[in-house]
Amino acid sequence: MSNPHVQDSAFWEAAIEHYHWDRLEAAYAAIQQRGVGEAGTYIRWYRLIEAEALSRRRSKRTKVNSWLTFECIPEDALRDESDLIAAAVEACDSIAERLGWSHSAPTLISVLAEEVDAPWATNPYGYYVSKELYEKICLPAYLVEDREELSEAVAHEYAHVISETASDGMSPAWLSEAVSVIAEGSPDPEALRILADGAWLKPEDLELTLDGRYDESNQREVWLAYQQCGTVGRYLSSLKGEPKLLDLMREHTNESVWRNLWLSLRGKSRVDGAVEAIYGMSVRELHERAHEWLRVQEAPKP
């Protein structure tokens, strides 16, 4: 008798392959035949593919420039499409200039359909995914209602494009979010007070929180985790400026044999080596110093 878990796994590997090539109709047609797998194992993948496929069916694509394509459903947009594109380009240009990045990675920004903007959405604030053909940013439909919110979301997700491209996908989630959170704007004062008072995670616990599933039960801890990442990013920026963050990302791709052997002998990771090379401290020291820096910033003034 065949194992249903093995069958599900093989089937979903093929469907996810379609998804990563952005063959959304093929991916969606396949998963509709199969469902979410034993015990709903693949429900998050199902929702992700469903949202992008239903959006693609009615979307119009606009080639904006050599590196950016914009995709949205015209009848869902509450303002002229050209205004949405202008806001997106401005946000991308702004964070690229701050980091010293030259646009190069082909990028698709897709505003998802209103009908998939639901409570069970896997990423209610938008998300970035690296696909085979381009880097893809997906944004929920409600963001078109507010140009400032749209700009902040695009800046956050495009910072992921920059981080992931520069580090070749090797940077940890907490570091990528450190760059993205500072890209989107000012920190949350309430979160900073809570973090300064002691709700500060170790790097490994921070990574686990960011990699976990987001739902109503963990909104607060995920919110604080993102704000902690932003604090780390602002601390690093205070040391050597924002463009140095790009050097930090690129250092992850250092393939020096002797350097990587030395890291291996010490039980250190690529991110340990990158932080040491650019900032002269360990990852743990970085987080401890960032926390102390925040506590000083938040301390009552005499």
* pTM > 0.85: yes
Instruction: Provide the residue ranges of all domains of the chain, joining segments of one domain with +.
Output: 1-57, 59-162, 173-298
Q: Could you give the percent of the chain with pLDDT greater than 70? A: 89
Average pLDDT for 184-193: 90
More confident residue, 181 or 222: 181
* Cα dihedral 179, 184, 187, 190 sign: negative
Is it the case that residue 171 has pLDDT exceeding 70?
A: yes
Is it the case that residue 282 has pLDDT exceeding 80?
A: yes
DSSP 117-155: --TT-S-TT-EEEE-SSSEEEEE-GGGGG-HHHHHHHHH
Which tens digits make up the pLDDT trace of 105-164?
999 999 999 888 765 556 778 999 999 999 999 999 999 888 899 999 999 999 999 999
Which tens digits make up the pLDDT trace of 28-75?
998 887 666 554 677 888 889 999 999 999 999 999 999 999 999 988
Is it the case that residue 3 has pLDDT exceeding 50?
A: no
pLDDT at 298: 78
Is it the case that residue 168 has pLDDT exceeding 70?
A: yes
Q: Comparing 27-36, 84-93, 172-181, which segment has the lowest mean pLDDT? A: 27-36
Q: Which long-range contacts (CB under 8 A, 24 or more apart) does 94-99 make?
A: 94/155, 95/155, 95/158, 95/159, 95/162, 95/183, 96/158, 96/162, 98/183, 98/242, 98/243, 99/159, 99/162, 99/179, 99/242, 99/243, 99/245, 99/246
Three-state DSSP at 111 gives strand
Q: Average pLDDT, whole number, for the chain?
A: 88
Cα end-to-end distance, the chain, whole Å: 74
Which tens digits make up the pLDDT trace of 242-268?
999 999 999 999 888 887 777 777 778
Which CATH number does 59-162 carry?
1.10.390.10
Is it the case that residue 207 has pLDDT exceeding 90?
A: yes
Average pLDDT for 90-108: 97
